[in-house]
């Protein structure tokens, strides 16, 4: 049985109706567990913090490939057009959706270790 709270439309239905019944066979039911929120879309610019070269590179997303085993985001680096591939776990560590985030990560990587020895 479809449970309204598991539907991607639940928030909208909750806003529109004062009471949401548990409807079996709702024509609009879409199970939220079957949807993936991607970190970017084709055409977006991504930024990579390259610590060994002390630079931030940018690349444009050209493809997003999803299969039963993985999700791979392919992008063309903006200067040399080198093709790069990323997986979701790269986001937030070496790949970022804004240049500012990449620069902050690079600066953080370059800070001396302040732990006592």
Q: What is the pLDDT of residues 26-41, one digit of tens each?
A: 778 888 888 888 999 9
- What residues make up the domain containing 24? 4-34
Mean pLDDT, all residues of the chain = 85
Element of type H or E holding 14: helix 10-16
Average pLDDT (37-64) is 93
Residue 115 forms part of a structural domain: no
Q: What is the pLDDT of residue 45?
A: 97
Band of pLDDT at residue 68, cut at 50, 70 and 90: confident
With 80 as the cut, is the pLDDT of residue 116 above it?
Answer: no
Q: How far is CA 51 from CA 5, 84, 106, 107, in A?
A: 44, 17, 6, 9
Q: What angle do CA 78, 71, 56 make, to 5 degrees?
A: 30
Asked if residue 28 and residue 55 are part of one domain, the reply reads no
Q: What is the pLDDT of residue 18?
A: 63
Residue 40 forms part of a structural domain: no
Residue 60 forms part of a structural domain: yes
With 60 as the cut, is the pLDDT of residue 58 above it?
Answer: yes
The total of structural domains in the chain comes to: 2
Asked if residue 71 and residue 29 are part of one domain, the reply reads no
Which residues sit opposite 61 in a β-bridge?
A: 75
Asked if residue 68 and residue 26 are part of one domain, the reply reads no
């Amino acid at each position: 049985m479809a449970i309204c709270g598991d539907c991607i439309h639940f928030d909208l239905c909750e806003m529109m109706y004062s009471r949401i019944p548990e409807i079996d066979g709702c024509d609009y039911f879409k199970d939220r567990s079957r949807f993936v929120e991607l970190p970017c879309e084709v055409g977006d610019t991504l930024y990579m913090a390259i610590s060994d070269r002390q630079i931030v590179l940018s690349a444009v997303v050209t493809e997003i490939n999803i299969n039963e085993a993985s999700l791979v985001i392919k992008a063309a680096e903006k200067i040399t057009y080198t093709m790069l591939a990323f997986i979701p776990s790269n986001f937030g560590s070496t790949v970022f959706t804004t240049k500012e985030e990449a620069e902050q990560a690079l600066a953080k990587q370059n800070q001396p270790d302040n732990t006592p020895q």
